[in-house]
Structure 1
Amino acid sequence: MISEPELEGEDGGQDRTQPPAPETPREPDGSGTVVGDGLPTPPPHRVRWLWALGGAVVASAVWAGGLYVYDRTVPDLRGYRISEDLCLDADLSALSEILGGQRESRHAVEEQRAIDRSFCDVTMMPGRPGEAKDDALPTSYSSVTVNYSLHKETDPAPEFEATLTPLALSHVIERKTKRIPELGERAYLMTDSGGYTPELKVLDGRAVFSIGIVSQSISQGPPADGQPADPEPIDPAVLEPAMVEDMKALMAAVKE
């Protein structure tokens, strides 16, 4: 007898020797693409979204790193350098024509990571007439002080005008301020009411300069009237062009 062929499975032909395909759960919203054997596959747009998100993070990190490198770049010093001996760089020949020859000088220099500073103090004294009496004649002289600072990390511009007058003198001596054109970025000439202490201060980028003059007198012997004579102040209008000329020469001398 010929019998009916046996079926290998109730589902009509699936090989029971092969394990069933793993089930892939659908998305909570029921999304997914059904292919082949009827099982849903995950949507591919999630992978693309993760790649896009990762790219944005990398781009942000590179941009932030670029800003950090930019912020750490060396500022433009406009060619200014430290002065190892400011008394050599500051010739002061124009002032010497008015105040007398240079008799003695002293200088100092300090170099730091944030700022370089140089200082020079010069004594100028005119020659005395040969016929002058030696028992009561006071000798006048002038002390010329030069300062130069180079700010390598911070910008001195916002504080420049606020620090024109030393704090110790701001409430004691009345100071007059005059703007000097065409000298650095900003320049001012300060004088007191008597004209004894003219000072020229200049800002040029990260560099700050000053030239100040103080006139004094000494007596070589006991004065006839018992009181030493005060030195006659030199008109600031006479000193101003000489101070500007010497300042321009100094600024050029400390540039590389």
Structure 2
Amino acid sequence: MISEPELADEDGGAPRPPDRSETYVVGDDDVSRRRNARALSPRGVRWLWALGGALAASAVWAGGLYAYDRTGADLRGYRISEDLCLDADLSALSELLGGKRSPQPAVEEQRAIDRSFCDVTMMRGRPREVKDDALPSSYSSVVVNYTLHKETDPAPEFDATLTPLAHSRIVDRKTKRIPELGERAYLMTDSAGYTPELKVLDGRAVFSIEVRSEYVAEGPHGTGPPAKPERVDPDALELALVEDMKTLMAAVKK
């Protein structure tokens, strides 16, 4: 019976095949041999590759978070308005409602949101002199708001907050979609088509321009009967609002 040839020892005969566990031994103890053998086994190699892949994926994920934190949300070039009464030119509305007077701006900058506000009076002609002891019979208040959301997306809530709550002085409101203005734009008016408010969503920026008509009593210190309201064509107001809104949106971009 022929048996398998035995491997020769180190003193002679054919060279002995290298022991995989001994080739990478660091140290002379048996524990080092066993650890190296396990590390170089196919299972150990697969485990090292899996560990390396997980570490690489974690590094990419962390790098993505760092890049997002550094750059923030895409604001589409919109910036904070330090003085909204300057950025909101409102020249189209001024042609209809009269010259701008007593602008009152306000601004607040926070980590998550920037808010700017402007309230301006528009009045036709020159106001009566003080010696006449009388007030103007009518004027308009134009209120402009601009909000820049830097951390949250306002889109899901935009449509839901168009109309005022029930306790508002104007409850019955009509809503009209305005095309080709920002992402979404709506014009709200009362039942007669007056007191318009134009609201626009464009990415993280939300704008609104509202026109409120004010009337006072005639006579000394407003003691006489109320003046007859002078109405402005609602279609002309709509066109003026859209034109002034486009100018404002362009003004607050970098």
TM-score higher than 0.5? yes
Secondary structure at the counterpart of residue 212 of structure 2 = strand
User: 45, 55, 60: which is aligned to 1:58?
Assistant: 55
**Which amino acid in 2 is paired with 1:109?**
V
Of all paired residues, the percent bearing the same amino acid is 68
Secondary structure at the counterpart of residue 141 of structure 2 = strand
RMSD: 3.0
Secondary structure at the counterpart of residue 150 of structure 1 = strand
Cα displacement (A) at 1:58: 1.5
Alignment match, 1:24 = none
Alignment match, 2:82 = 84
TM-score by length of 1: 0.73
Contact 2:218 2:224 in 1 (8 A): no
Alignment match, 2:109 = 111
Cα displacement (A) at 1:136: 9.4
* Distance in 2 between residues matched to 1:129 and 1:52, nearest whole Å: 82
**Which amino acid in 1 is paired with 2:210?**
G
**Which amino acid in 1 is paired with 2:189?**
T
Q: Which runs of 5+ in 1 are unaligned?
A: 1-40
Secondary structure at the counterpart of residue 147 of structure 2 = strand
Q: Residues 18-72 of structure 1, C-alpha deviation per residue, up to 9 Å, x if partnerless?
A: xxxxxxxxxxxxxxxxxxxxxxx75633432332342243134224324533553
* Distance in 2 between residues matched to 1:128 and 1:47, nearest whole Å: 90
Q: Which runs of 5+ in 2 are unaligned?
A: 1-33
Task: Go from structure 1 to structure 2 and tell me whether the alpha carbon gap of 1:169 and 1:209 turns closer, same or farther (over 3 Å shift).
Answer: farther
* Distance in 2 between residues matched to 1:98 and 1:129, nearest whole Å: 16
**Which amino acid in 2 is paired with 1:51?**
L
Alignment match, 1:100 = 98
Alignment match, 2:252 = 254
TM-score by length of 2: 0.74
User: 139, 142, 160: which is aligned to 2:140?
Assistant: 142
**Which amino acid in 1 is paired with 2:119?**
D
Decide which structure has the larger Cα Rg and report it: 1
* Distance in 2 between residues matched to 1:62 and 1:235, nearest whole Å: 62
Alignment match, 2:120 = 122
* Distance in 1 between residues matched to 2:42 and 2:248, nearest whole Å: 69
**Which amino acid in 2 is paired with 1:251?**
M
Instruction: Spell out the pairing of 1:2-41 with structure 2 (5 A cutoff).
Output: none
